[in-house]
Chains A and B, each alone.
Chain A
Amino acid sequence: MNRFGALTLAIVLLAALVLPNFLKGYGIYLMSMWAVLSIAAMGLNLTLGYAGQVSLAQGAFVGIGAYTAALMMKAGVPYPLCFVSSGLVCFTIGWLLGYPALRVQHHYLAFVTLAFTTLVYLIFRNEEWLTGGTYGLSGIDRPSFFGLSTNGALGFFYFSFGIMVLLTAAAWWMLHSPWGRAFVALRENPVRALSLGLDTRRYTLMAFAIGSSIGGLAGAVFAPLVQYIEPLSFALDLSLNLLLMVIVGGSGFFFGPFVGALIAVLLPEWLRFIQGYYLICYAILVMAMMAFCPTGILGLVQRGVRLVAARRKAQQPTLLPERTSS
């Protein structure tokens, strides 16, 4: 990452820490929601942006994570254990689901995950003894750590934000480890990665399973945030929204999902005045973006930065030896 990027990141982090102090309850709630959706979208970005597979089940995994965490918390299990279990459950299910689907080419995973999302919704709705059926699960407590309660809006924001930063750092570390660089190779050129001896099928499956488990972890934060979960929250709409977040932000860019989630949280608030027509505008926006700039907002930014850099280079006298910047 270059200096410009590091500076932007520092400013954004600082703003996110300070800003909630000036917001009212609802504003802080939206920021917490942004943190949760960012985590889920970041997981999906591994599948979509790096492995190039469309998953329409990220919302279902958020749901599985949320139900797992909520049920365990209600049974009195300490929160950190619930959190980890959500991730593990989703990793296992993701692996089992991806194994058959990723054996074949095309976008089979998209169809399998589409059907899976419907199935998960049916299970949430029908298995009343476990999930409470259409009534859902209510009265989910917010966790407290070392005597610090996260009951207040501000407290919970710092909690969800902290988890987001931790998971982001973990993902960053993973993608920059020798093992994780394979995911980047997968994004850049899958055929070349294959001919270099990478087991691309296994890495694609891994990307999907890890992405799904991150979705589950997002669910474990989502449950105590909203304190009431029901099947409809995790229907196909959520999966589609998460997918569009990754695309709009810029799939394959590490920070794309965060931008996409921010837009998905803020846009409906800003576009309150057009009410029901909001989703229509959003859909048109996405189609236009796919036609003119399929790499999303960060792709646009990158294009702009490169343009400026190229102009500056052209203006500089060429006699000086060029300094390479990383």
Chain B
Amino acid sequence: MATFIQLLVSGLATGAIYALIAVGFTLLWQTSQTINFAQGEFVMVPAFFILEAMYLGAPFWLAALIGIALSVLLLGLTFKLIIVDPMLKHGVLPLVISTIALSLFMKEMVKNLYSSQAQPFPALVAPYDFHILGAVISSQSLAVLAVAISAVVLLHLLLHKTRLGRAMQATAQNPTLARILGISVRRMVLYTFMINAVLCAIASILISPIYLAKFVNGETLGIAAFLAAIIGGFNQVRGAIVGGFLIGILDNLSAAYISSTYRAASPLLILIVIIMFRPQGLLGRVEERTV
């Protein structure tokens, strides 16, 4: 029982990080039909911005802020304006290919300009173990959960309680109508790209102390986020959150109870089952195909 609780908590912690990445992924899809294959690399890179800022003498909190700002600038604004915009007129496929090339580019840049070695990354809180019902729960897991959940709650408040958020939702649901109502669709889409960059940077800060900062991290993170988004429902923010937690918990439990060498396989199996029986995802809506 104690081990189960331990696994559950650490699963929830990784799941919360996956959820953050998956939420950003679905936001991009909803507002601009962008399938970002570089999403995993978007999480891998901010850690190196932060490490570089710390190397230049900034304390951790300042470096983290610099990292988030740089992410918004490069992975949000620049990505949208230089890579996505010229591609949108060609349809979905060229953009998919382009983001695949972008992920290759980011991986190689980090490998060549920084290092191919895994870099230690400062933890958010001092290591301390809580003993609850015989289970050992690290302060690290709890901090990750707290930060990730507050990020999601803030995002929810932004999307549902503010005028700006409602405008963004209108853009996602019906761009033409939103435009008629006087919403600047272009700007709203740009905002979602910036929000995605912030979410990725936060995920980066949370995951890097656990996995260390390494140029190949993006692959597994990207796959986990895609799977979470599909399992939960591609067109729902709520779905991505549920999917993220589900993948995180299952990942941890199957690694412990089934096989640690095949931990990457269990999400794939769930994915196939979900696609067979509920192709729109657990919480997703069925989308109509238009000619």
Instruction: Tell me if A54 and B93 are in contact (CB < 8 A).
Output: yes
One of A38-46, A81-89, A142-150, A286-294 at the interface: A286-294
Could you say which of B93, B111, B275 contacts A100, with CB atoms under 8 Å apart?
Answer: B275
Q: Is B157 on the interface with A (CB-CB < 8 A)?
A: no
Question: How many residues of A are in contact with the other chain, CB < 8 A?
Answer: 39
Interface mask (A119-145 → B, CB under 8 Å = 1, otherwise 0): 100100010000000000000000000
Chain B residues near A12: list those with CB within 8 A: none
* CB nearest neighbor in B for A104: B279
Within B255-290, which residues are at the interface with A (CB < 8 Å)?
A: 261-262, 264-265, 267-268, 271-272, 275-276, 279-280, 287, 289
A112 and B275 in contact (CB under 8 A), knowing A107-B35, A279-B108?
yes
Contact B226 A283 (CB under 8 A): no
Distance, CA A162 to CA B51, complexed state (A): 53
Interface check A247, CB cutoff 8 A: yes
Of the residues A236, A286, A290, contact of B90 by C-beta under 8 Å: A290
Contact status B271-A291, CB under 8 Å: no
Contact B96 A112 (CB under 8 A): no
Task: Tell me, in angstroms, the Cα distance from A105 to B262 when the chains sit together.
Answer: 28
In the assembled complex, which residues on chain A have CB atoms less than 8 Å from the CB atom of B1?
none
Q: Please, what's the 1-or-0 string for A265-294, where 1 marks a CB less than 8 Å from any CB in chain B? A: 000000000001101101110110011101
Q: Does A106 contact B (CB under 8 A)?
A: yes
Counting chain B CB atoms within 10 Å of each CB, which of A54, A244, A277 scores highest? A54
**Residues of chain B contacted by A126 (CB below 8 angstroms):** 261-262
Render B78-108 as a binary contact track against A, CB cut-off 8 A, 1 for contact: 0000010011001011111110111011001
A209 to B37, CA, bound (A): 24
Assess whether A243 is in contact with B226, with CB atoms less than 8 Å apart.
Answer: no
The answer to whether the Cβ of A151 comes within 8 Å of any Cβ in the partner chain is no
Interface assignment of A103: CB less than 8 Å from any CB of chain B: yes
Chain A neighbourhood of B48, CB < 8 A = none
Judge if A257 is at the interface, Cβ distance under 8 Å: no
Q: Which of A104, A282, A286 contacts B275 (CB 8 A)?
A: A104
Residues B271 and A111 in contact, CB atoms below 8 Å apart: yes
| Inter-chain contact B230/A108, CB cutoff 8 Å | yes
A122 to B267, CA, bound (A): 14
B residues neighboring A (CB under 8 Å): 35, 37, 83, 86-87, 90, 92-98, 100-102, 104-105, 108-109, 111-112, 219, 223, 226-227, 230, 234, 261-262, 264-265, 267-268, 271-272, 275-276, 279-280, 287, 289, 291
Chain A to chain B: the 6 pairs with minimum beta-carbon distance, closest first? A283-B105, A286-B101, A104-B279, A294-B94, A115-B268, A290-B98
Q: List 23 A-B contacts (CB under 8 A).
A: A54-B93, A101-B275, A103-B279, A104-B275, A105-B289, A110-B37, A119-B262, A122-B261, A126-B261, A126-B262, A243-B100, A244-B97, A279-B104, A279-B105, A280-B112, A284-B105, A287-B105, A290-B94, A290-B95, A291-B86, A291-B87, A292-B86, A294-B93
- Besides the contacts A122-B264, A282-B104, A294-B90, what 12 more A-B pairs have beta carbons closer than 8 Å? A100-B276, A103-B276, A105-B289, A108-B275, A112-B275, A115-B271, A119-B262, A286-B97, A286-B98, A290-B90, A291-B83, A294-B93
